[in-house]
Structure 1
Amino acid sequence: MNSPRPPDVLIEPMLIADHVALDLLNTVAQVDGAPRDFLQSDADVLRWLERMGLPANAPAFALHTPHALLDATRALRETVRTLVAQRKAGENVDVAALNAFLARGRYAVQVVADEGSWRVERRTEQRCVEHLLMPLAEAAAELLANGEFDLVRKCEQPDCTRCFYDRTKSHRRRWCSMATCGNRHKVANYRKRQQG
């Protein structure tokens, strides 16, 4: 007798890139040999933003148009993917789309005293769904302008599409995650040695 199929488990994208803009790219990854987009709804985007520690309080207007936040996030993700690939390859980088996105942001900056410490707080005016994504767009701009692109790498596991920023001391990181792709590589090498 067959047991009932277990309910689908929500799988979240791994946060392993060591840079928020690269973690955005990793919201599309290979899972069980097929590409999977982890962002399927506005709620998925809000949950991911919260996991990233980014402000994710959606104003009421953002929820009136279904998929508006999802569509804006996917568009930003593909813009960033193109720019990172161009920058990594040493090609001419056309930042017009990213700059157009950034131009929609409106900020209020203030100094906040909090229990004896001080911090500068930047608040985004919430008039369109893109405003929720401004911290991501800014992170992508910072990466493009100031990132060391020899440290922006793709996982060496052949079927993995994830990328990361190598912040290790020796700058020899090879895998998106030692627990997944690094372990697969070790197991494959062990099997080769056992067969040889």
Structure 2
Amino acid sequence: MTAIPPSDLPLEPYVLADDPVLDMLNTRANVDGVARDFWETDADVERWLVRLGWTEEGAVPAFEEGALLGAARGLREVIRDLLEQRKAGLQGEPAALNGFLRKAVSHPQLSWPAPGEVHLERQRKQQTPEQFLSPLAEAAAVLLVEGDFALIRTCEHPDCVLWFYDRTKAHKRRWCSMALCGNRHKVAEFRRRKLEG
């Protein structure tokens, strides 16, 4: 397997899972056989949170340097472990995820910006990285409870570790992306047939 030069590696994590929690897992990936963690700094995590709509640009509180990165990576691996266990039909230990959920301090807030426009919004304290990431932890808990694990899969390419939620009509999705692993598989199959032929 040929490694691609670092300058050709993707700069941003893949967003192709059809579920934001699974996209979080995909921030750690194999890129042409090279293990890659797209979260190297607090700014990487913040960019990802903005890109996926978890927060707005400039809305991330000022945390101690490295705290957001550490909390995000920790949450990602807790979620990965629980999803892998759920997918395998095993009983998981939810204590670490529950720890994130316990830190979520929130309350409903009524807003009335104009006549006839009444909204109920959830306001969250964001004093710690764990509190800031608690909506992601909650989304993961909901996915673990309500997700159809027959449709939550990892890519079939042997070198790929990306997850996806198969929301296709026929539920026959095999690849994280046809442009990535699906195309690699087609090329490999073509070469194999050509050599055998």
User: What TM-score comes out, normalization by structure 2 length?
Assistant: 0.89
Count the aligned residue pairs: 189
Residue aligning to 1:78:
77
User: What are structure 1's unaligned runs of at least 5 residues?
Assistant: none
Q: Counterparts of 1:133-172 in structure 2 under 5 Å? A: 133-172=133-172
Shift of 1:15: 0.4
Name which of structure 1's ranges 177-186 and 108-117 shifts more when overlaid on structure 2.
108-117
Q: Counterparts of 1:57-96 in structure 2 under 5 Å? A: 57-60=59-62, 62=63, 65-96=64-95
Confirm or deny: 8 A CA contact 2:42 2:65 kept in the other structure: yes
Shift in CA distance, 53/89, structure 1 to aligned 2, threshold 3 Å? same
**Corresponding letter in the other structure for 1:58:** V
Confirm or deny: 8 A CA contact 2:9 2:31 kept in the other structure: no
The alignment partner of 2:130 has SS state of helix
Residue aligning to 2:39:
39
Q: Would you say 1:27 and 2:27 are equivalent positions? A: yes
Residue aligning to 1:103:
102
The alignment partner of 1:12 has SS state of coil
Confirm or deny: 8 A CA contact 1:28 1:37 kept in the other structure: yes
Structure 1 distance, partners of 2:142, 2:117, is 26
Confirm or deny: 8 A CA contact 1:55 1:132 kept in the other structure: no
Residue aligning to 1:51:
51
Residues 1-36 of structure 1: CA deviation (Å, up to 9, x unaligned): xxxx99687610110111111111110000131110
Confirm or deny: 8 A CA contact 2:100 2:131 kept in the other structure: no
Shift of 1:194: 2.0
Q: Would you say 1:125 and 2:147 are equivalent positions? A: no
> Percent identity between the aligned chains?
53
Residues 115-161 of structure 1: CA deviation (Å, up to 9, x unaligned): 76554322211111112211110110000111111111010111001
Shift of 1:110: 2.5
The alignment partner of 1:110 has SS state of strand
Shift in CA distance, 151/113, structure 1 to aligned 2, threshold 3 Å? farther
Confirm or deny: 8 A CA contact 1:29 1:162 kept in the other structure: yes
Structure 2 distance, partners of 1:89, 1:9, is 32
CA RMSD, 1 decimal: 2.0
Confirm or deny: 8 A CA contact 1:16 1:177 kept in the other structure: yes
Shift of 1:66: 1.1
Residues 49-95 of structure 1: CA deviation (Å, up to 9, x unaligned): 001100152223x1xx2100000001101100100011001111111
**Corresponding letter in the other structure for 1:70:** L
Structure 2 distance, partners of 1:149, 1:80, is 14
Shift of 1:108: 2.3
Residue aligning to 2:173:
173
Name which of structure 1's ranges 111-120 and 87-96 shifts more when overlaid on structure 2.
111-120
Shift of 1:189: 1.4
Runs of 4+ in 1 over 3 A off after TM superposition: 5-10, 111-120
